[in-house]
A = this chain, B = another copy of it.
Amino acid sequence: MKVIVAGNRGFCPGVKNAINMAEKILAREEEVYGLGPIIHNKDEVERLSKAGLKTVDSVEQVNSGTVLIRSHGAAPEQILRLRKKGLNIVDATCVLVKRVQQIARQLEEDGYTMVIMGDENHPEVQAVVGCCRNVIVLADNADLDRLPVDGKLGIVSQTTEDPGHFTEMLCEIIRRGFNELKVINTLCKEAIKRQESAVQVCKKVDIMFVLGGLESANTRRLAELCKKYNSQTFHLQNWSECDRRSLLGKTTSGVTAGASTPEWIIDEFVQNLRDFDSSGG
């Protein structure tokens, strides 16, 4: 069948950099640990695991060797504990994620009540929370009551937050009343380009595939967005999850992928789609 692949898709520079760093350390060192899964993609984590990367959940599980800080970053307090243990640290935190941490720290120092829009369970948000004395995490309207009335608010967002949701939440904050607002747009422009590119593709196709880890926030957002324009949108991890029956009778399919989806998974998926005879013949 005919396949249209989104121009902006897959690995962002931050993830690409983290994977490259992991491969380089694995090539020269014996004992390499990743603090948390290096990316939200189990196939890629598995591939690197076979190459020797040991994924751990906490600092307590590591006592020797080199520790890789993934692109989502880690709380300063975790890094401090790794240092105290005398471990070798390789920091692959995405520059944009690091920027959010720096901005949050600075805004709090300047007397702002810190607010981050995003998912409190996402490691990127947790790292920002770990940087400051106090951060209010806003996921949706229900969290707005936690904001001080007439406050002096410093606002940032998770880099992969949905731009439309970010805008509407800001408007809600403004409607509640405030004394001062300082908002720094920390949205990742790569993520926005990926979203725009996905929307363009999904409007032209009979069926749309968004490839990426089920845990990956940016992939999930990508899928939600495509679903708005094309109800035949499926969020899959790889070709093995594709239900061939969904392809029958379709002429054109579209493919995009989240920031943590490696190109080899996309290639394999696209090749299989192209080879598929959707006429059912």
A residues bordering B, Cβ < 8 Å?
167, 170-171, 174-175, 177-185
Contacts and interface: CB of A to CB of B under 8 A. Distances in A.
Given A167-B174, A167-B175, A182 B185 contact: no
A183 B185 contact: no
Nearest to A187: B177
Contacts of A178: 183, 185
Contacts of A170: 171, 174
A185 B175 contact: no
A148 B226 CA distance: 30
A170 B167 CA distance: 11
Contacts of A180: 182-185
Contacts of A171: 167, 170-171, 174
Please give the count of copies of this chain that the complex contains: 2
Which residue among A174, A175, A178, A180 has the maximum number of chain B CB atoms within 10 Å of its CB? A174
A177 B196 CA distance: 15
Contact of A181 (B175, B177, B183): B183
8 contacts: A170-B171, A171-B174, A174-B183, A178-B183, A180-B182, A181-B183, A182-B182, A183-B183
Given A181-B182, A181-B183, 8 more contacts: A167-B174, A171-B174, A174-B183, A178-B183, A178-B185, A179-B184, A180-B182, A180-B185
Nearest to A150: B185
Contacts of A182: 180-183
Contacts of A185: 177-180
A175 B164 CA distance: 8
Contacts of A177: 185
Nearest to A153: B183
Nearest to A155: B181
Contacts of A184: 179-180
A183 B183 CA distance: 8
A158 to B, nearest CB: 17
